[in-house]
């Protein structure tokens, strides 16, 4: 409809021009000539006009700027707005992955230039320097990059047979003396006509001096079946190694090989304790089979996300993945038969979202990421970090109040329980859904007798559906990982994995709030809270230990209790002047916080309602209080508050102010408003002040200038508990003249208090 209207306006404009064009022409002084103009419009990207058709071609008529409609078309001449052309600029440095290299835009746009496949020569790309990682050697030459293996100069130790005398092979025990280039380790299949069968204990241990952090390639011949304890300890440059023929992987063999990205293990006799401890870059691993499986093999692998156990793995020891919270997926083969009673809290990692099981497994099955017995009548294990909407398999008969079912599963948003469930364990101590903070709806509970009046550890406001046909009140995660609660139009929880995040600019085009614990214990580093966010819920970012900076745009009014509690890496906060309430403990234990930028004035800051001292950024630091910036300048040592009725509790708790003026209009100074301002010496109290009980406790106030009379002060002082916090100070009373007692004061020419 708008497009048709634009066309009609153009037609009208042309008709008017045709009818009155001559009348609008400019005449010469003597009237000898009248300009004539084209009916058609001429235009550029800014203006439109009618061009002269007479010999005076430079003349124009009706020249004006375009009037663009919503479609981008001028409503007068029909010119279509042209998109702006941006010329990208690109970084000179190369960015690369395992296959390609490219230059990224440094102009703020998502663009790349010069993307091409790597061109390898002797293990490195000749263009960008990327090191080839997945070598495939044939006759000593990599079929991918052409790298030629050259046998390393090494030291060996004899391996004796059962008789203790016959040399059956050799073990590599380190580099030969004098070897300086230790970037590539190529072990031969034979030494002195005997097979090389092992790499000895600590053979290339960096701490022992035999290893080297620059070691980036290790070639093991098929004859090597044993890697000794801590064989490659600390070889952080090592990115990939073929271990499929190794049979014994001893304790700590690749301990803290922080550059190692993936491993594939064949049929092992031993997978030792700490085998891959601290391999911080390790993302995926496959274990085909293992007879002796020691615990903590993948401990503290911070980036490990996926582990596949083949058909030769029957059980997983406790704490195999201890401190490896990033593991999202585990796949179990057909032989896995570990008794369910042996599954402790440490068997599977806390970050686990999904378990898959081979269809040939005779003991277990899986559905929707949950581990069941083969018949799917019993829940065996629900991954601790299973996310979103969860459906229990039809056939399950009981839900118990234990961690292996749903207790403390903080990412489940919606739960569907089938009619086959006959019992949901629940008593005054054991609650089946205790700690399920994100759970806001449950389907089909009436089939097992759960009612709205029941407890079950459910959070307040959880919706209990009586039919699966009832509409869900929580969405699936969108492309960015945001989950919304539709009945409250709030951002319910974030399931994304970004480290730098900008919150959405509205929900369905409208402002919204962020729910309690929405980003609890996230891995975010920087967050921008958009102007459409009105409130941050309680414990919103509680425990987000990697969060370094939070920027809150104008529009937010409420920061909930404990919203940023325990954000130990948080160094900077940007707060808008729209903030009215900051809940109790909002910045508790933010021990790294050094700066807060507030968009308002001193008086506007004073009007914020603080829940307690730990909701104020000044009480957050372990040693030195952070600096508050107002309009880009640090909070001054002398401050004046006026134009508001009340200074909030804890408003300036712990600040470095030295002098405070409570000015016109202020009737109340909240409790602890200036407590622990240890440098505070002077207070000027306006005559409007009626209440300042406990406002100045634990300060160094020694002088009070009161704008009222002495008799008024006596009444005010008694009403405030004997002027708590200023009882030891000398009090002066405003007067137009000196008094006999010497306790009178007035404002001097510079506007500062002066004693008569």
DSSP 198-228: EE-TTTT-GGGTS--TT--EEE--TT--EE-
Give a yes or no: residue 322 inside a domain. no
Last residue of a domain, one of 469, 492, 511: 469
Contacts of 741 (CB under 8 A, 6+ apart): none
Judge whether 574 and 552 are in contact, CB under 8 Å: yes
CATH number at residue 582: 3.80.10.10
Mean pLDDT along residues 259-264: 91
Task: Show contacts of 636-644: CB within 8 Å, 24+ apart.
Answer: 637/679, 639/602, 640/602, 640/603, 641/602, 641/603, 641/606, 641/666, 642/603, 642/666, 642/686, 643/603, 644/603, 644/604, 644/606, 644/607
DSSP 582-626: E-TTTTTT-TT--EEEESS-HHHHHTSEESSGGGSGGG--SSSPP
Identify the bridge partners of residue 61 per DSSP, sorted by sequence position: 50
How many domains would you assign to the chain? Answer: 4
Give the separation between CA 182 and CA 528, rounded to whole angstroms: 46
Three-class secondary structure of residue 647 per DSSP? strand
CA angle, 319 as apex, 425 and 199 as ends, to 5°? 160
Pick from 190, 201, 196: nearest CA to 170: 196
Note whether 589 and 541 are same-domain residues. Answer: yes
Note whether 457 and 545 are same-domain residues. Answer: no
Mean pLDDT along residues 132-137: 63
**pLDDT value, residue 452:** 46
Note whether 418 and 488 are same-domain residues. Answer: no
Three-class secondary structure of residue 370 per DSSP? strand
**pLDDT at 22 exceeding the cut of 60:** no
**pLDDT at 306 exceeding the cut of 80:** yes
Domain of 504, in residue numbers: 475-635
Given the structure tokens 């079929």, which residue do they identify? Answer: 143
Give a yes or no: residue 394 inside a domain. yes
The pairing of strands 581-582 and 558-559 is: parallel
The values of phi and psi at residue 175, to 5°, are -70, 150
Mean pLDDT along residues 314-320: 93
Give the separation between CA 239 and CA 241, rounded to whole angstroms: 7
Token couple for 335: 């032989």
Note whether 458 and 503 are same-domain residues. Answer: no
Give a yes or no: residue 459 inside a domain. yes
Mean pLDDT along residues 309-322: 93
The pairing of strands 558-559 and 533-536 is: parallel
Does this model's pTM top 0.85? My answer is no
Mean pLDDT along residues 451-459: 69
**pLDDT at 292 exceeding the cut of 90:** yes
Give a yes or no: residue 583 inside a domain. yes
Give the separation between CA 699 and CA 689, rounded to whole angstroms: 19
Give the separation between CA 352 and CA 382, rounded to whole angstroms: 9
Give the separation between CA 745 and CA 707, rounded to whole angstroms: 9
Burial 534-573 (b: 16+ CB within 10 A, else e): bbbbbbbbbbbeebbbbbbbeebebbbbbbbbbbeebebb
Give the separation between CA 372 and CA 254, rounded to whole angstroms: 34
Q: How confident is the model at residue 447 (pLDDT cuts 50, 70, 90)?
A: low
The values of phi and psi at residue 750, to 5°, are -85, 0
CA angle, 303 as apex, 134 and 249 as ends, to 5°? 60
Note whether 726 and 657 are same-domain residues. Answer: yes
**pLDDT at 427 exceeding the cut of 90:** no
Tell me the per-residue pLDDT of 703-738, one tens digit each, with 9 for 90 and over: 999 998 888 887 777 666 555 557 778 989 998 888
Note whether 643 and 626 are same-domain residues. Answer: no
Note whether 562 and 679 are same-domain residues. Answer: no
Query: Torsion over CA of 239, 240, 241 and 243, rounded to 10 degrees?
Result: 120
Pick from 205, 290, 304: nearest CA to 249: 290
Winning range, highest mean pLDDT, from 25-39, 125-139, 328-342, 426-440: 328-342
Tell me the per-residue pLDDT of 522-560, one tens digit each, with 9 for 90 and over: 889 999 999 999 999 999 999 898 999 999 999 999 999
Token couple for 215: 């070691």
**pLDDT value, residue 243:** 93
Given the structure tokens 């419009």, which residue do they identify? Answer: 41
Q: Give the helix, strand, coil percentages of the chain, each rounded to 5.
A: 5, 30, 65
Give a yes or no: residue 37 inside a domain. yes
- Mean pLDDT (the chain) is 86
**pLDDT at 27 exceeding the cut of 50:** no
**pLDDT value, residue 620:** 63
Give a yes or no: residue 555 inside a domain. yes
Give a yes or no: residue 299 inside a domain. no
Tell me the per-residue pLDDT of 627-665, one tens digit each, with 9 for 90 and over: 899 988 999 999 999 999 999 999 999 899 999 999 999
517 Rama sector, left if φ>0, alpha if ψ -120 to 50, beta otherwise: left
Given the structure tokens 């032989």, which residue do they identify? Answer: 335
Judge whether 581 and 627 are in contact, CB under 8 Å: no
Note whether 587 and 641 are same-domain residues. Answer: no
**pLDDT value, residue 485:** 94
Token couple for 172: 């590599």
Contacts of 84 (CB under 8 A, 6+ apart): none
Mean pLDDT along residues 439-451: 70
Identify the bridge partners of residue 745 per DSSP, sorted by sequence position: 734, 755
**pLDDT value, residue 29:** 39
DSSP 454-501: --TTPPTT-EEESSTTSPPSBPPP-TTSEEEETTTTEEEEE----SEE
Note whether 401 and 511 are same-domain residues. Answer: no
Note whether 457 and 537 are same-domain residues. Answer: no
Token couple for 347: 């068997």
The pairing of strands 226-227 and 194-199 is: parallel
Note whether 516 and 410 are same-domain residues. Answer: no
**pLDDT value, residue 346:** 76
Give a yes or no: residue 713 inside a domain. yes
Tell me the per-residue pLDDT of 668-678, one tens digit each, with 9 for 90 and over: 999 999 998 98
Note whether 490 and 553 are same-domain residues. Answer: yes
Tell me the per-residue pLDDT of 469-498, one tens digit each, with 9 for 90 and over: 889 999 999 999 999 999 999 999 999 989
**Span of 292-306, 367-381, 430-444 with lowest mean pLDDT:** 430-444
Winning range, highest mean pLDDT, from 5-19, 72-86, 680-694: 680-694
**pLDDT value, residue 469:** 84
Last residue of a domain, one of 413, 446, 469: 469
**pLDDT value, residue 691:** 87
Q: Where are the beta strands (DSSP E) in 300-410?
A: 306-312, 329-332, 354-357, 364-367, 370-373, 379-381, 388-391, 398-399
Q: How confident is the model at residue 6 (pLDDT cuts 50, 70, 90)?
A: very low
Task: Show contacts of 739-745: CB within 8 Å, 24+ apart.
Answer: 743/710, 745/705
Tell me the per-residue pLDDT of 377-399, one tens digit each, with 9 for 90 and over: 999 999 999 999 999 999 999 99
Tell me the per-residue pLDDT of 605-631, one tens digit each, with 9 for 90 and over: 999 999 988 888 877 655 677 889 998
Last residue of a domain, one of 635, 668, 690: 635
**pLDDT value, residue 503:** 95
To the nearest whole percent, how much of the chain has pLDDT over 70? 88
Judge whether 131 and 217 are in contact, CB under 8 Å: no
Mean pLDDT along residues 365-376: 97
């Amino acid at each position: 409809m708008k497009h048709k209207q634009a066309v009609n306006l153009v037609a009208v404009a042309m008709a008017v021009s045709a009818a009155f064009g001559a009348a609008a022409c400019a005449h010469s002084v003597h009237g000898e000539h009248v300009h004539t103009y084209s009916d058609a419009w001429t235009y550029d990207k800014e203006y439109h006009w009618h061009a002269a058709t007479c010999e005076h071609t430079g003349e124009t008529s009706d020249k004006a700027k375009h009037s663009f409609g919503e479609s981008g078309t001028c409503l007068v001449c029909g010119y279509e707005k042209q998109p702006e052309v941006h010329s990208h600029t690109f970084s000179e440095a190369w960015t690369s992955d395992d296959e390609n290299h490219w230059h990224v835009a440094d102009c703020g746009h998502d663009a790349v230039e010069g993307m091409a496949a790597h061109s390898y020569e002797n293990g490195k790309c000749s263009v960008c320097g990327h090191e080839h990682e997945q070598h495939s050697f044939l006759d000593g030459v990599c079929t991918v990059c052409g790298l030629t293996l050259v046998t390393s100069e090494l030291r060996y130790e004899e391996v004796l047979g059962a008789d203790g005398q016959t040399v059956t092979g050799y073990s590599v025990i380190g580099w030969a003396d004098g070897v300086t280039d230790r970037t590539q380790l190529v072990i031969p299949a034979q030494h002195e006509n005997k097979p090389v069968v092992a790499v000895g204990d600590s053979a290339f241990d960096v701490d022992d001096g035999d290893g080297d952090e620059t070691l980036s390639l290790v070639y093991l011949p098929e004859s090597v079946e044993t890697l000794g304890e801590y064989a490659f300890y600390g070889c952080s440059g090592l990115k990939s190694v073929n271990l499929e023929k190794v049979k014994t992987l001893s304790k700590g063999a690749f301990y803290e090989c922080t550059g190692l990205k993936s491993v594939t293990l064949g049929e092992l006799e031993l997978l030792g304790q700490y085998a891959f401890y601290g391999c911080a870059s390790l993302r995926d691993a496959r274990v085909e089979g293992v007879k002796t499986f020691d615990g903590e093999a993948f401990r503290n692998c911070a980036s490990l996300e996926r582990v596949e156990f083949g058909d030769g793995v029957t059980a997983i020891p406790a704490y195999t993945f201890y401190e490896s919270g990033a593991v999202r997926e585990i796949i179990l083969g057909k032989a896995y038969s570990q008794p369910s009673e042996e599954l402790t809290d440490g068997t599977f990692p806390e970050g686990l979202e999904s378990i898959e099981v081979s269809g040939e497994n005779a003991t277990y099955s899986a559905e929707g990421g949950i581990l069941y017995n083969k018949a799917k009548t019993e829940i065996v294990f629900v991954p601790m970090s299973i996310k979103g909407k969860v459906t229990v398999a039809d056939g399950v008969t009981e839900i118990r109040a234990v961690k292996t079912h749903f207790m403390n599963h903080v990412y489940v948003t919606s739960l569907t329980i089938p009619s086959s469930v006959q019992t949901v364990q629940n008593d005054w101590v054991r609650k089946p859904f205790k700690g399920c903070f994100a759970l806001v709806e449950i389907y089909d509970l009436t089939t097992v007798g759960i009612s709205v009046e029941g407890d079950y550890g459910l959070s307040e406001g959880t919706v209990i559906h009586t039919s699966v046909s009832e509409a869900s009140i929580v969405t699936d995660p969108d492309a960015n990982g945001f989950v919304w609660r539709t009945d409250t139009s709030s951002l319910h929880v974030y399931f994304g994995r970004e480290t730098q995040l900008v919150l959405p600019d509205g929900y369905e085009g409208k402002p919204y709030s962020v729910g309690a614990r929405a980003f609890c214990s996230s891995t975010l580093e920087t967050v921008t809270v958009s102007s459409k966010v009105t409130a941050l819920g309680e414990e919103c970012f509680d425990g987000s230990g990697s969060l370094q900076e939070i920027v809150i745009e104008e529009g937010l009014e409420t920061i909930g209790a404990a919203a940023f509690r325990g954000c130990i890496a948080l160094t900077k906060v940007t707060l808008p002047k729209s903030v009215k309430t900051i809940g109790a403990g909002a910045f508790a234990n933010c021990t790294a916080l050094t700066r807060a930028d507030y968009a308002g004035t001193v008086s506007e800051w004073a009007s914020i309602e603080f829940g307690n001292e730990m909701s104020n950024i000044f009480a957050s630091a372990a040693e030195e209080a952070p600096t508050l910036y107002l309009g880009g300048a640090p909070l001054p040592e002398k401050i004046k508050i006026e134009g508001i009725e009340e200074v909030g509790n804890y408003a300036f708790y712990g600040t470095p102010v030295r002098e405070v003026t409570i000015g016109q209009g202020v009737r109340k100074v909240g409790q602890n408003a200036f407590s622990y301002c240890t440098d505070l010496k002077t207070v000027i109290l306006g005559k409007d002040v009626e209440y300042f009980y406990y406002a100045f406790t634990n300060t160094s106030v020694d002088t009070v200038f009161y704008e009222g009379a002495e008799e008024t002060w006596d009444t005010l002082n008694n009403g405030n508990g004997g002027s708590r916090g200023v009882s030891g100070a000398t009090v002066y009373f405003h007067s137009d003249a000196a008094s006999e007692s010497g306790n009178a004061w007035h404002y001097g020419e510079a506007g500062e208090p002066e004693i008569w």
